[in-house]
Amino acid sequence: SNERGRREVTQAMGLAVRKTQDAVLLDRCAQQTALAVGASAEAVRAEFQRIPKPKARLGYDPPEPMLTEQPASEPAVAPPTQQEQWLLRLAFQDPAFGDWAADCLDPRWVEHPQVRTILETAAQTGDPAEVLVNTLDGPSSRLLTAALVDATEIPQPGRQLQDLVTRLRDRFLDRQLANLTRVLAQPNLPEEELLRTLEEQRDLLGQKQEVLPQAPTPAAA
């Protein structure tokens, strides 16, 4: 039923945002979820608060006692660029966009490790965002949740997605070409390696000229 579907969405988003332990994010997520399910923000916020904070699950091997008492802090990771944040938003804005990204986006083009992991996992599993936020590691889950609750309107999202992925691809290829240029600049480069490097350079330049398939038009709301 519709009521059951609304409850499932609320539960999934609530569990994800409770994992982040971020009160500001919880409030924003409650407002966006309320709009999505047609309920009041107060009711959704109350529902979120009733969801118990997830407990850390043990693996098959019990942790060492000292590690349990003094867990290692998560390594600091630089935040994603604005382009990578928009890529996350667009890839999960519409199922058709997610399918397009899975087919057309090479994860190597994404530099940020967590953004890359999120997109790789989505492509491999086909899971929607509300499932992924509960299966990803903590930092990745927070990153995806923040992208999902960002309500900033994106005009022409399909065009933006295609252009953004093209820019990420070209930036990746430019880095590869720069590496080849350094190889070619080496003195006394063996002829065999020179020819191979020039061939690879031509291949990369050809890839830059390729036009990505047109991104789909999202389904009407």
Secondary structure of the chain in HEC code, one letter for each residue = CHHHHHHHHHHHHHHHHHHHCCHHHHHHHHHHHHHHHCCCHHHHHHHHHHCCCCCCCCCCCCCCHHHHHCCCCCCCCCCCCHHHHHHHHHHCCCHHHHHHHHHHCCHHHCCCHHHHHHHHHHHHHCCCHHHHCCCCCHHHHHHHHHHHHCCCCCCCHHHHHHHHHHHHHHHHHHHHHHHHHHHHCCCCCCHHHHHHHHHHHHHHHHHHHCCCCCCCCCCCC
Please report how many Cα atoms fall inside a 13 Å half-sphere around the Cα of residue 180, on the Cβ side. 19
What's the pLDDT band for 3 if we cut at 50, 70, 90?
Answer: low
pLDDT by residue (tens digit) across 121-157?
Answer: 999 998 888 888 888 888 888 888 888 888 778 889 9
Note the pLDDT of residue 57: 42
Does residue 88 share a domain with residue 42? no
pLDDT at position 64:
41
> 128 and 202: one domain?
yes
Domain of residue 128, residue span:
84-221
Residue 216 lies in a domain: yes
Model pLDDT, residue 19: 58
**Same domain (yes/no): 92, 45:** no
Both 181 and 114 in a single domain?
A: yes
Q: For all residues of the chain together, what is the average pLDDT?
A: 80
Q: Do residues 34 and 102 share a domain? A: no
What is the domain count for the chain? 2
- Please tell me whether residues 123 and 188 are part of one structural domain: yes
Q: What pTM value is reported for the model?
A: 0.63
How many CB atoms within 10 Å of residue 179? 13
